[in-house]
Chain A
Amino acid sequence: GAVVSQHPSWVICKSGTSVKIECRSLDFQATTMFWYRQFPKQSLMLMATSNEGSKATYEQGVEKDKFLINHASLTLSTLTVTSAHPEDSSFYICSARPLARGSYNEQFFGPGTRLTVL
């Protein structure tokens, strides 16, 4: 149980294009999903917190107009990197917190999406 998927697992795009990444909770409903970015040999940096049916809350320094987040249902959140540039190349990881809280009220992580912008 508590499986989170991401699609695509990797993507290569040209500079200036937009890329959409999907995060799905496969066997549970998630009121809250989180989007992280991880640069090589660095830890996870929280970008934004996404609550179903409401606007995402972005961390300081993250441009909300560049990283569009939509959480339209209890099982799906999407991150769109608009007008991507090479510096946006990174490993993007989502996580989901179940509606039915577990022992630790923990988040479950997706497998990540490797974005490379040429």
Chain B
Amino acid sequence: GQNIDQPTEMTATEGAIVQINCTYQTSGFNGLFWYQQHAGEAPTFLSYNVLDGLEEKGRFSSFLSRSKGYSYLLLKELQMKDSASYLCAVRVGYSGATNKLIFGTGTLLAVQP
């Protein structure tokens, strides 16, 4: 089966740092994505990891440990506009119809002044 877990909700303060964790157990692994989604809008791409280690993109960083089935998204210098849902998604399969994204439960982040 496919199982991807994230905390349901988190609260953080403007200007602070927050880490959103994601653990996964999937049949196959071909990369892990993090998306940001504001209410009623489409997800937007934040980061991608396929090898172990840390990927940094500005205020956002994402870490992956394939042996542990674990990833986290790190948001620095939080801004009010960062209040959104953060979705962890694992790509399974390699070609054709088997290459698809399995989304986690999503983490609703509330940034407070």
Contacts and interface: CB of A to CB of B under 8 A. Distances in A.
Contacts of B102: 46
Main secondary structure on B side of the interface with A:
strand
B100 A42 contact: no
Contacts, number: 58
The contact size tier of chain A is: 20 to 34
Interface residues of B, number: 24
A57 interface: yes
Interface string A24-55: 00000000101010000111111001010000
Interface stretch (A13-21, A61-69, A82-90, A104-112): A104-112
Given A42-B106, A44-B87, A106-B33, A93 B42 contact: yes
Contact of A46 (B33, B42, B43, B100): B100
A31 B1 CA distance: 27
A109 B103 contact: no
A104 B40 contact: no
A7 interface: no
Nearest to A56: B97
Interface of B: 31, 33, 35, 40-45, 48, 87, 89, 91, 96-97, 99-106, 108
18 contacts: A32-B96, A36-B103, A43-B105, A44-B103, A46-B100, A46-B102, A49-B97, A49-B100, A51-B97, A93-B42, A95-B101, A103-B48, A104-B45, A105-B31, A106-B45, A107-B101, A109-B43, A112-B40
Interface of A: 4, 32, 34, 36, 41-46, 49, 51, 57, 91, 93, 95, 97, 103-112, 114
